[in-house]
Amino acid sequence: MKTLIHLLTVLAGTYLFLLVYLYFRQESFIFFPTKIPAQHRPIINQYHNASISLSTAGATLQGWFIDRGTPLIIYYGGNGEEVSGNLFDVSKFSTGSLLFVNYRGYGASDNKPSEKTLFADALSIYDTMVGEYGFDPEQVILMGRSLGSAVAVHVAANRTVKAAILITPFDSMINVGKTHYPIFPLGLLLKHRFNSIKIVPDLTVPMLTIMAENDEIIPKTCSLNLLQSWGGSSKLITIKNAGHNDISGYPEYWRGVNDFLDQ
């Protein structure tokens, strides 16, 4: 009996330690800031004139603006994505200007990321492109990948936009987390909730969702829950054989994106 009690005490202590650890270290499980890879330097040099620096509250964000007329496509990357890699895909977009800006702590952007700062920065960037660069809000299309889908949803809920493209999206960080950490009370632990499901029923702009058939990060139920709760017209494309990180390497991905842009 004493052995059992000792074992239960050790297990309980370990569990409590993990709860505390997860709470105070949760940013390291959600955000993976990545600097610009050396192999991206040639394409960055090619788009040197497109480099852009945007000042927001407490940070300077660096990215690239490729001016090709309307619409304006504002891209929001995943939680481990340094967005200069999208410069390799500029020619794959059938139309529009493109804006790729790194989150705080990613690439050459300074400061640290959080749900609050990502949301605030995204609104500030939108306001700059509309106010200073003169883009019509009705010609702004938001494109968010993975974590960036939640950023796109937040902007769509707070600003006027034409449409949204959500790549491997999810309904809430809590629901995604429950898949990977089912033994922890994430509803109590998470500070960065990215609770898109609470917002999307009120959104009426057209939306395209692109899912990966073999997504190992975002459960299909989380993506479908978001899609089915969307308040406006929506379309789903599932890329066969694709995983979470290689989805944009399939021709069907770009066909779906461009068909939506061309509508």
**In this predicted structure, what is the pLDDT of residue 13?**
86
Where are the chain's structural domains?
A: 42-262
> How high is the mean pLDDT in each 10-residue block of the chain (263 residues)?
72 83 89 96 97 95 97 98 98 97 98 97 98 97 98 98 98 94 88 97 98 98 98 98 97 98 92
Q: What is the pTM of this model?
A: 0.95
- Give the bridge partners for 262, in sequence order: none
What's the confidence (pLDDT) of residue 86? 98
- In angstroms, rounded to a whole number, what is the distance separating the alpha carbons of residues 3 and 229? 51
Q: Are 169 and 148 in contact (CB under 8 A)?
A: no
On whether the CB atoms of residues 113 and 148 are closer than 8 A, the answer is no
DSSP string, 206-235: -EEEEEETT-SSS-HHHHHHHHHH-SS-EE
Superfamily name with CATH number, domain 42-262: Alpha/Beta hydrolase fold, catalytic domain (3.40.50.1820)
Q: How many CB atoms lie within 10 A of CB 201?
A: 12
Order of strands across the sheet that contains 59-66: 51-56, 59-66, 97-101, 72-76, 140-145, 163-167, 207-212, 234-239
For the chain, helix (H) and strand (E) counts, in that order, are: 9, 8
- CA nearest 164: which of 203, 135, 127, 125? 203
